Amino acid sequence: MRKKVLSILLTAVMAASTFTGCGGSSGSGTTDANGNTKLTALFVAHPLTADITTFKWLQEFADDAGVNIEWEVIYSDWDQTKPTRFASGDIPDLLFNATVDADYITYNGLFEDLTPYISADTTPNIQAMFDEEPDTYVLAQTPEGKIFGLPKFQGKWPDTNGVLFINQKWLDNLGLEAPTTFSELEKVLTAFKNNDPNGNGIADEIPLDFNGWFGAAYSLSNLVGGLGIQLTNWGTDGYFAEDGKVKNYAVDERYKKLMKYLAKLYSEGLINENAITNDYSMFQSLSRGNENGEALVGVVYGWEETDKFGNNLADEYVALSPLAYDLDGETYDTRWTYDYSGLNMSTNRVCMSSKCKNKEAAVKFMDQFYSKEGSVQVLFGGISDGNVSSTGDNSYKVNDPQDPSVDAGTWKWTYSFADNGPMYIRRDTTIDMSGDMDNAIREREVYKDALAKVTDDDYYPQMFMKYTEDEQNEMAVLQANVTNIIDNQWGLWLVGDEDVDSTWDAYVKSVEDAGLSRILEIRQNAFDKYRAN
């Protein structure tokens, strides 16, 4: 079974694929032989997601709504292909996990305002979410009061996403203590590189690994918290708040210090030299060791130990406490990324094309994802599929993976929409979760004190801040230019192609000239309005 699962995953990552399922065929808005309305839908999936047309729970949603769905599943490069698709108007009736707020402005008229279709009579589950969790209504609305993308709410998740793991077995083998500072981390990584901590006589250890570029959930840029910068919800695009002011750490002197430190680690062979080009699947695979079951990675970001390292290696790793910056005589108030809102709420889980020929049927299908039972299946997998059991009225149990060699986290991401789906997990819903969630809560105890430092003055509520159409348009253009410079320079500095000190001033000027100052002005205004309310 495991070989079969891995085969599916590898195939999924290779390219975007189109699946036709649920008895679907072309002809959106028409009906099939059973009288079901035909709809088309696109889902931007996690690389681990299997063929969604085999999900019984998804077929049941379609049956209950009286629709017949032709699915297209995108596994990679959606951000690169999306502009062409949207500019041409070539989109299906429904899009899952495929849009951001700026898309509704940039491609004005392409998407349907869902406000007229949402009510207690027509969409009881969506309406219940808006009534019972008002933040989701705020999240969904544009400044003009329209709703293009529906959000999700899954309030059972912890308050930080990334855990920095270290291989405790390697520490024990080498007689080392877990590092607590930047300088101690460098010493431990050096020992991991030179002293064969996995004991196989081969220099195959990767001291430090990461995934993603600047600002990504599992990027080394998150270590900026050790220099007193409070990131929230993955620090998207580098924006944060400090003393009530909106800033971007990509031009902060503390980020300069971090990049000098990381470049030094890279030059010493302490960071995986392929990390900057590896996709998530390779990042995950390396952390699960070699074919002999030996660990290969010493320190790495991840969500949860069994998800990151698999069942066989999970016991070797523990969570590191937040690392304090202790170089060049400077000390800071160490912080850790606060992600509660981002982990439990997200906007734009599903939206509708304005060209959809049967909008009522499409909205009815969307509402299935927000029912009590439906939401649990969206997140964890189907009851009919054997992934979840109903244990009472609004009570459920997440079953162990049907293949015992596969960890619970991987199983969830393979056989459900998981965190990428639209859902409303009610606060009064009881879920006996799998062991991975128990692990996730336990592992994050080391961040409790750091997260308690978050105040209103340094919490940056990016996902709730609202902008006018003109502001959205302006920021979309400016941010693209700014991001291009920041991402490019992150890579150049990390691998040593350019020196941080000698290029810093010119880099900062180029970022500001590209529009960062104006973006900060717009964001500060939105931030102040949010706090006033």
Q: At which of 431, 463, 482 does a domain end?
A: 431
Q: Are residues 356 and 326 in the same domain?
A: no
Q: Examine the domain organization and report whether 414 and 462 are in the same domain.
A: no
Between 532 and 251, where is the model more confident?
251
What is the residue type of 282? M
- Tell me: pLDDT of 530 over 90: no
What does the pLDDT read at residue 27? Answer: 63
One domain, residues 315 and 362: no
Domain count, the chain: 2
- Quick one: 441 and 530 in the same domain? yes
Nearest to 527 by CA among 448, 471, 452: 471
Q: Are residues 303 and 439 in the same domain?
A: yes
Write out the residue range of the structural domain in which residue 30 sits. 2-155+346-431
Given a cut of 70, whether residue 497 has pLDDT beyond it is yes
For the chain, give the percent of residues with pLDDT over 70: 95
Amino acid at 225: G
Helix/strand/coil percentages in the chain, nearest 5: 45, 15, 40
| Boundary of a domain, candidates 405, 431, 457 | 431
Question: In the chain, what percentage of residues exceed pLDDT 90?
Answer: 81
What confidence tier does 193 reach under pLDDT thresholds 50, 70, 90? Answer: very high
Q: Are residues 192 and 316 in the same domain?
A: yes
pLDDT at 10 over 80: no
b/e burial code for range 157-179 (CB count within 10 A of at least 16 → b): bbbbbbbbbbbebbbebeebebb
Residues 199 and 329 in one domain: yes
Domain identity same for 172 and 273:
yes
Task: Kindly state whether residues 306 and 197 are assigned to the same domain.
Answer: yes
Give 93's Cβ-side CA count (13 Å radius).
Answer: 26
pLDDT at 34 over 90: no
Shared-domain flag, residues 31 and 71: yes
pLDDT tens column, 351-398: 999 999 999 999 999 999 999 999 999 999 999 999 999 999 999 999
- 17 SS3 class: strand
3-state per-residue secondary structure call for 331-361:
CCCCCCCECHHHHHEEEEEEEEECCCCCHHH
Which of 301-305, 326-330, 469-473 is predicted with the least confidence, judged by mean pLDDT? Answer: 469-473
**Of the candidates 404, 431, 458, which is a domain's last residue?**
431
**Residue in 313, 305, 271, 335 with CA at minimum distance from that of residue 495:** 271
> Quick check: 302 and 431 in contact, CB under 8 A?
no
- Classify 348 in phi/psi space as left (phi over 0), alpha (psi -120 to 50) or beta: left
Q: Are residues 143 and 130 located together in one domain of the fold?
A: yes
What's the CATH code of the domain at 10?
Answer: 3.40.190.10
Alpha helices by DSSP H, listed for 70-167, are 78-88, 101-106, 124-132, 134-140
Q: Do 351 and 385 lie in a common domain?
A: yes
